[in-house]
Chain A
Amino acid sequence: MTKAWSMALLAAVAIFATALSAVEVGDAGPDFKFDKSWNALEGATKLSDYRDRVVLLEVWATW
Protein backbone atom coordinates (compact mmCIF):
# COMPACT_ATOMS: atom_id res chain seq x y z
CA MET A 1 0.00 0.00 0.00
CA THR A 2 2.75 2.43 0.98
CA LYS A 3 4.59 1.53 -2.21
CA ALA A 4 1.49 2.12 -4.33
CA TRP A 5 0.96 5.51 -2.69
CA SER A 6 4.52 6.63 -3.19
CA MET A 7 4.33 5.53 -6.83
CA ALA A 8 1.15 7.55 -7.31
CA LEU A 9 2.77 10.55 -5.66
CA LEU A 10 5.84 10.23 -7.87
CA ALA A 11 3.64 10.05 -10.97
CA ALA A 12 1.68 13.11 -9.85
CA VAL A 13 4.87 15.07 -9.24
CA ALA A 14 6.21 14.00 -12.64
CA ILE A 15 3.04 15.16 -14.41
CA PHE A 16 3.04 18.45 -12.51
CA ALA A 17 6.69 19.05 -13.33
CA THR A 18 6.11 18.30 -17.02
CA ALA A 19 3.24 20.77 -17.17
CA LEU A 20 5.37 23.51 -15.69
CA SER A 21 8.75 23.10 -17.30
CA ALA A 22 9.59 23.94 -20.87
CA VAL A 23 10.78 21.31 -23.31
CA GLU A 24 14.55 21.66 -23.42
CA VAL A 25 17.32 20.45 -25.72
CA GLY A 26 17.86 16.75 -25.06
CA ASP A 27 14.21 16.11 -24.14
CA ALA A 28 11.84 14.04 -26.22
CA GLY A 29 9.49 16.42 -28.03
CA PRO A 30 5.92 15.63 -26.88
CA ASP A 31 3.67 14.31 -29.62
CA PHE A 32 0.39 16.02 -30.55
CA LYS A 33 -2.42 15.52 -33.01
CA PHE A 34 -3.20 17.87 -35.89
CA ASP A 35 -6.73 19.30 -36.07
CA LYS A 36 -6.15 20.51 -39.62
CA SER A 37 -3.17 21.06 -41.85
CA TRP A 38 -2.02 22.96 -44.94
CA ASN A 39 1.01 21.88 -47.05
CA ALA A 40 1.94 19.30 -44.42
CA LEU A 41 3.77 16.05 -45.12
CA GLU A 42 1.39 13.78 -47.04
CA GLY A 43 -0.70 11.64 -44.70
CA ALA A 44 0.66 13.19 -41.51
CA THR A 45 -1.91 13.59 -38.73
CA LYS A 46 0.42 13.93 -35.75
CA LEU A 47 3.92 15.15 -35.05
CA SER A 48 5.36 11.65 -34.66
CA ASP A 49 4.49 10.93 -38.32
CA TYR A 50 7.62 12.96 -39.13
CA ARG A 51 10.02 10.52 -37.47
CA ASP A 52 12.46 10.07 -40.34
CA ARG A 53 12.90 13.82 -40.76
CA VAL A 54 14.33 16.78 -38.93
CA VAL A 55 11.41 18.95 -37.85
CA LEU A 56 11.28 22.64 -37.15
CA LEU A 57 8.33 23.01 -34.81
CA GLU A 58 7.19 26.61 -34.65
CA VAL A 59 4.31 27.98 -32.62
CA TRP A 60 3.03 31.18 -34.14
CA ALA A 61 0.03 33.43 -34.49
CA THR A 62 -1.27 35.49 -37.41
CA TRP A 63 -1.41 38.59 -35.24
Chain B
Amino acid sequence: MKGVPHLIELNNKFRERGFEIVAVSDEDAGTIEKFVKDKSINYGIIKASNVIKTYGGKGYPSAWVLDVDGKVIWKGHPANLTDAMVEDWVKDLAPAKITKEVSKALRNAVEAYNKGEFGKAETEVDKHLGSDDPAVKADAEFVDGVIEKRRAVGEAKAAKARESGDLPKLATLLEAEAKAFDGSEHGKKCAEEAKTVKASKEYKDCLKAQSELDKLKPKINDMKADKAKRALEKIAKDFPGTPAGKEAAELAKDF
Protein backbone atom coordinates (compact mmCIF):
# COMPACT_ATOMS: atom_id res chain seq x y z
CA MET B 1 0.00 0.00 0.00
CA LYS B 2 1.68 3.21 -1.11
CA GLY B 3 0.06 5.33 1.59
CA VAL B 4 2.21 3.89 4.36
CA PRO B 5 5.35 6.06 3.82
CA HIS B 6 3.16 9.18 3.75
CA LEU B 7 1.53 8.26 7.07
CA ILE B 8 4.92 7.40 8.61
CA GLU B 9 6.14 10.83 7.58
CA LEU B 10 3.10 12.60 9.04
CA ASN B 11 3.51 10.57 12.23
CA ASN B 12 7.20 11.54 12.52
CA LYS B 13 6.48 15.20 11.96
CA PHE B 14 3.34 15.74 14.00
CA ARG B 15 2.79 13.06 16.63
CA GLU B 16 4.72 14.95 19.32
CA ARG B 17 2.51 17.93 18.71
CA GLY B 18 -0.76 16.13 19.38
CA PHE B 19 -1.58 14.52 16.03
CA GLU B 20 -2.42 10.83 16.28
CA ILE B 21 -3.02 8.38 13.50
CA VAL B 22 -5.60 5.68 14.17
CA ALA B 23 -5.42 3.31 11.22
CA VAL B 24 -8.14 0.69 11.51
CA SER B 25 -8.29 -2.71 9.85
CA ASP B 26 -10.69 -5.58 10.54
CA GLU B 27 -8.39 -8.28 9.20
CA ASP B 28 -7.06 -10.96 11.50
CA ALA B 29 -4.42 -9.95 14.04
CA GLY B 30 -1.68 -12.10 12.49
CA THR B 31 -2.07 -10.49 9.05
CA ILE B 32 -2.05 -7.00 10.55
CA GLU B 33 0.95 -7.72 12.75
CA LYS B 34 3.02 -9.07 9.86
CA PHE B 35 2.20 -5.97 7.80
CA VAL B 36 3.12 -3.62 10.66
CA LYS B 37 6.50 -5.36 11.07
CA ASP B 38 7.29 -5.72 7.36
CA LYS B 39 6.62 -2.05 6.68
CA SER B 40 8.15 -0.79 9.96
CA ILE B 41 4.98 1.13 10.71
CA ASN B 42 5.38 3.44 13.71
CA TYR B 43 1.94 5.06 13.81
CA GLY B 44 -1.14 3.69 15.56
CA ILE B 45 -2.64 0.58 14.00
CA ILE B 46 -5.91 -0.69 15.39
CA LYS B 47 -7.88 -3.87 14.87
CA ALA B 48 -11.61 -3.12 15.14
CA SER B 49 -14.67 -4.22 13.25
CA ASN B 50 -17.47 -2.33 11.51
CA VAL B 51 -15.70 1.04 11.54
CA ILE B 52 -16.00 1.51 7.77
CA LYS B 53 -19.72 0.73 8.03
CA THR B 54 -20.29 3.06 10.99
CA TYR B 55 -18.44 5.89 9.27
CA GLY B 56 -19.88 5.18 5.85
CA GLY B 57 -16.56 4.85 4.02
CA LYS B 58 -16.77 4.21 0.29
CA GLY B 59 -13.69 1.98 0.12
CA TYR B 60 -10.13 1.46 1.31
CA PRO B 61 -8.51 3.66 2.31
CA SER B 62 -10.93 6.28 3.61
CA ALA B 63 -10.08 8.87 6.22
CA TRP B 64 -11.65 11.31 8.63
CA VAL B 65 -9.94 13.86 10.83
CA LEU B 66 -11.43 14.51 14.26
CA ASP B 67 -10.68 17.54 16.41
CA VAL B 68 -9.96 17.49 20.16
CA ASP B 69 -13.69 17.25 20.90
CA GLY B 70 -14.19 14.31 18.54
CA LYS B 71 -15.87 16.39 15.85
CA VAL B 72 -15.11 15.60 12.20
CA ILE B 73 -13.18 18.46 10.57
CA TRP B 74 -12.09 16.74 7.36
CA LYS B 75 -12.84 13.64 5.32
CA GLY B 76 -11.33 12.25 2.18
CA HIS B 77 -8.55 10.10 0.78
CA PRO B 78 -5.54 10.09 3.13
CA ALA B 79 -3.19 10.78 0.18
CA ASN B 80 -4.76 14.23 -0.04
CA LEU B 81 -3.57 15.20 3.43
CA THR B 82 -0.78 17.74 3.27
CA ASP B 83 1.71 18.92 5.89
CA ALA B 84 0.18 22.39 5.73
CA MET B 85 -3.27 21.04 6.65
CA VAL B 86 -1.97 19.08 9.61
CA GLU B 87 0.19 22.04 10.68
CA ASP B 88 -2.94 24.19 10.76
CA TRP B 89 -4.83 21.63 12.88
CA VAL B 90 -2.08 21.15 15.45
CA LYS B 91 -0.77 24.69 15.75
CA ASP B 92 -2.80 25.50 18.87
CA LEU B 93 -2.73 22.05 20.45
CA ALA B 94 -1.35 21.27 23.85
CA PRO B 95 -1.09 17.52 24.30
CA ALA B 96 -1.93 16.21 27.77
CA LYS B 97 1.32 14.27 27.82
CA ILE B 98 4.73 14.98 26.41
CA THR B 99 6.07 11.76 24.92
CA LYS B 100 9.17 13.20 23.26
CA GLU B 101 12.53 12.00 24.59
CA VAL B 102 14.17 15.03 26.20
CA SER B 103 17.61 15.57 27.68
CA LYS B 104 18.10 14.51 31.28
CA ALA B 105 17.96 18.10 32.53
CA LEU B 106 14.36 18.44 31.36
CA ARG B 107 13.03 15.13 32.67
CA ASN B 108 11.62 16.71 35.85
CA ALA B 109 9.84 19.35 33.82
CA VAL B 110 8.29 16.75 31.52
CA GLU B 111 7.30 14.56 34.46
CA ALA B 112 5.59 17.51 36.15
CA TYR B 113 3.85 18.48 32.92
CA ASN B 114 2.60 14.93 32.39
CA LYS B 115 1.15 14.92 35.91
CA GLY B 116 -0.75 18.11 35.12
CA GLU B 117 1.50 20.22 37.35
CA PHE B 118 2.16 22.97 34.80
CA GLY B 119 3.29 25.57 37.33
CA LYS B 120 5.95 23.22 38.60
CA ALA B 121 6.93 22.31 35.04
CA GLU B 122 7.37 25.99 34.27
CA THR B 123 9.67 26.50 37.26
CA GLU B 124 11.76 23.53 36.11
CA VAL B 125 11.94 24.74 32.52
CA ASP B 126 12.97 28.25 33.57
CA LYS B 127 16.18 26.81 35.05
CA HIS B 128 17.30 25.55 31.64
CA LEU B 129 16.11 28.16 29.16
CA GLY B 130 19.50 29.87 29.39
CA SER B 131 21.53 26.66 29.20
CA ASP B 132 24.88 26.68 27.38
CA ASP B 133 24.17 23.19 26.04
CA PRO B 134 22.25 23.73 22.79
CA ALA B 135 20.42 20.39 23.11
CA VAL B 136 19.22 21.25 26.62
CA LYS B 137 18.28 24.75 25.55
CA ALA B 138 16.30 23.40 22.58
CA ASP B 139 14.45 20.92 24.81
CA ALA B 140 13.70 23.63 27.36
CA GLU B 141 12.28 25.81 24.61
CA PHE B 142 10.21 22.90 23.33
CA VAL B 143 8.68 22.17 26.76
CA ASP B 144 8.22 25.89 27.40
CA GLY B 145 6.30 26.11 24.12
CA VAL B 146 4.01 23.24 25.11
CA ILE B 147 3.27 24.86 28.48
CA GLU B 148 2.59 28.15 26.72
CA LYS B 149 0.08 26.45 24.40
CA ARG B 150 -1.55 24.65 27.30
CA ARG B 151 -2.01 28.00 29.00
CA ALA B 152 -3.57 29.43 25.83
CA VAL B 153 -6.00 26.48 25.65
CA GLY B 154 -7.14 27.20 29.22
CA GLU B 155 -7.42 30.90 28.51
CA ALA B 156 -9.51 30.27 25.40
CA LYS B 157 -11.92 28.14 27.44
CA ALA B 158 -12.14 30.80 30.15
CA ALA B 159 -12.75 33.51 27.53
CA LYS B 160 -15.64 31.49 26.11
CA ALA B 161 -17.24 31.10 29.57
CA ARG B 162 -16.68 34.80 30.28
CA GLU B 163 -18.30 35.80 26.99
CA SER B 164 -21.36 33.61 27.45
CA GLY B 165 -21.85 34.87 31.02
CA ASP B 166 -21.47 31.37 32.44
CA LEU B 167 -19.75 32.50 35.61
CA PRO B 168 -20.05 29.25 37.59
CA LYS B 169 -18.28 27.48 34.73
CA LEU B 170 -15.72 30.28 34.56
CA ALA B 171 -15.02 30.00 38.30
CA THR B 172 -14.61 26.22 38.07
CA LEU B 173 -12.27 26.59 35.08
CA LEU B 174 -10.19 29.26 36.77
CA GLU B 175 -9.88 27.25 39.95
CA ALA B 176 -8.71 24.21 37.98
CA GLU B 177 -6.19 26.37 36.10
CA ALA B 178 -5.01 27.95 39.35
CA LYS B 179 -4.35 24.50 40.77
CA ALA B 180 -2.62 23.20 37.62
CA PHE B 181 -0.47 26.33 37.34
CA ASP B 182 0.19 26.56 41.07
CA GLY B 183 3.58 28.11 41.73
CA SER B 184 3.53 30.35 38.66
CA GLU B 185 2.37 33.89 37.96
CA HIS B 186 -0.40 32.55 35.74
CA GLY B 187 -1.68 30.31 38.54
CA LYS B 188 -1.79 33.26 40.92
CA LYS B 189 -3.71 35.33 38.37
CA CYS B 190 -6.28 32.57 37.84
CA ALA B 191 -6.79 32.12 41.59
CA GLU B 192 -7.36 35.86 42.01
CA GLU B 193 -9.83 36.06 39.14
CA ALA B 194 -11.72 33.01 40.46
CA LYS B 195 -12.07 34.74 43.82
CA THR B 196 -13.33 37.98 42.22
CA VAL B 197 -15.81 36.07 40.06
CA LYS B 198 -17.21 34.12 42.99
CA ALA B 199 -17.67 37.30 45.03
CA SER B 200 -19.64 39.04 42.27
CA LYS B 201 -23.39 39.57 42.26
CA GLU B 202 -23.57 38.16 38.72
CA TYR B 203 -22.06 34.87 39.89
CA LYS B 204 -24.55 34.59 42.73
CA ASP B 205 -27.39 35.37 40.30
CA CYS B 206 -26.23 32.51 38.05
CA LEU B 207 -26.40 30.10 40.98
CA LYS B 208 -29.80 31.39 42.13
CA ALA B 209 -31.24 31.16 38.62
CA GLN B 210 -29.90 27.63 38.26
CA SER B 211 -31.36 26.54 41.58
CA GLU B 212 -34.79 28.00 40.76
CA LEU B 213 -34.79 26.37 37.36
CA ASP B 214 -33.72 23.04 38.86
CA LYS B 215 -36.63 23.25 41.32
CA LEU B 216 -39.12 24.15 38.61
CA LYS B 217 -38.07 21.59 35.97
CA PRO B 218 -39.35 18.36 37.60
CA LYS B 219 -42.79 19.92 38.14
CA ILE B 220 -43.14 21.68 34.84
CA ASN B 221 -44.90 18.98 32.82
CA ASP B 222 -47.60 18.61 35.50
CA MET B 223 -48.30 22.32 35.51
CA LYS B 224 -50.85 24.12 33.38
CA ALA B 225 -49.14 25.52 30.29
CA ASP B 226 -49.75 29.20 31.06
CA LYS B 227 -48.57 28.79 34.62
CA ALA B 228 -45.43 26.97 33.51
CA LYS B 229 -44.75 29.66 30.94
CA ARG B 230 -45.09 32.41 33.54
CA ALA B 231 -42.81 30.62 36.02
CA LEU B 232 -40.13 30.20 33.33
CA GLU B 233 -40.48 33.78 32.15
CA LYS B 234 -40.05 34.99 35.71
CA ILE B 235 -36.68 33.23 36.00
CA ALA B 236 -35.67 34.64 32.61
CA LYS B 237 -36.69 38.14 33.67
CA ASP B 238 -35.20 38.01 37.18
CA PHE B 239 -31.86 36.66 35.97
CA PRO B 240 -31.22 37.90 32.43
CA GLY B 241 -27.82 37.05 31.01
CA THR B 242 -27.35 33.98 33.19
CA PRO B 243 -27.16 30.54 31.54
CA ALA B 244 -30.20 29.29 33.49
CA GLY B 245 -32.10 32.51 32.69
CA LYS B 246 -31.40 32.01 29.00
CA GLU B 247 -32.42 28.36 29.23
CA ALA B 248 -35.67 29.35 30.97
CA ALA B 249 -36.43 31.87 28.21
CA GLU B 250 -35.89 29.15 25.60
CA LEU B 251 -38.06 26.66 27.50
CA ALA B 252 -40.83 29.23 27.92
CA LYS B 253 -41.21 29.36 24.14
CA ASP B 254 -42.42 25.75 24.17
CA PHE B 255 -45.46 26.60 26.31
Contact = CB atoms under 8 A, between A and B. Distances in A.
Contacts of B63: 56-59
A15 to B, nearest CB: 12
Interface magnitude class on chain A: 35 or more
Contact of B65 (A31, A56, A61): A56
A62 B35 CA distance: 7
Given A59-B62, A60-B1, A29 B32 contact: no
B27 A24 contact: no
A16 interface: no
Given A28-B70, A47-B66, 5 more contacts: A25-B75, A38-B33, A56-B64, A61-B61, A62-B32
Given A25-B73, A34-B48, A52 B56 contact: no
Interface of A: 19-42, 44, 47-48, 50-62
Contact of A29 (B10, B61, B70, B89): B70
Interface string B26-66: 01010111011000011111111111111111101111111
A25 B130 CA distance: 45
Give 9 closest A-B pairs by Cβ, nearest first: A22-B56, A40-B44, A36-B47, A38-B45, A60-B61, A29-B66, A58-B23, A59-B52, A55-B66
B96 A58 contact: no
B152 interface: no
Contact of B25 (A22, A30, A50, A59): A59
A61 to B, nearest CB: 5
B72 A23 contact: yes
B48 A39 contact: no
B183 interface: no
A40 to B, nearest CB: 4
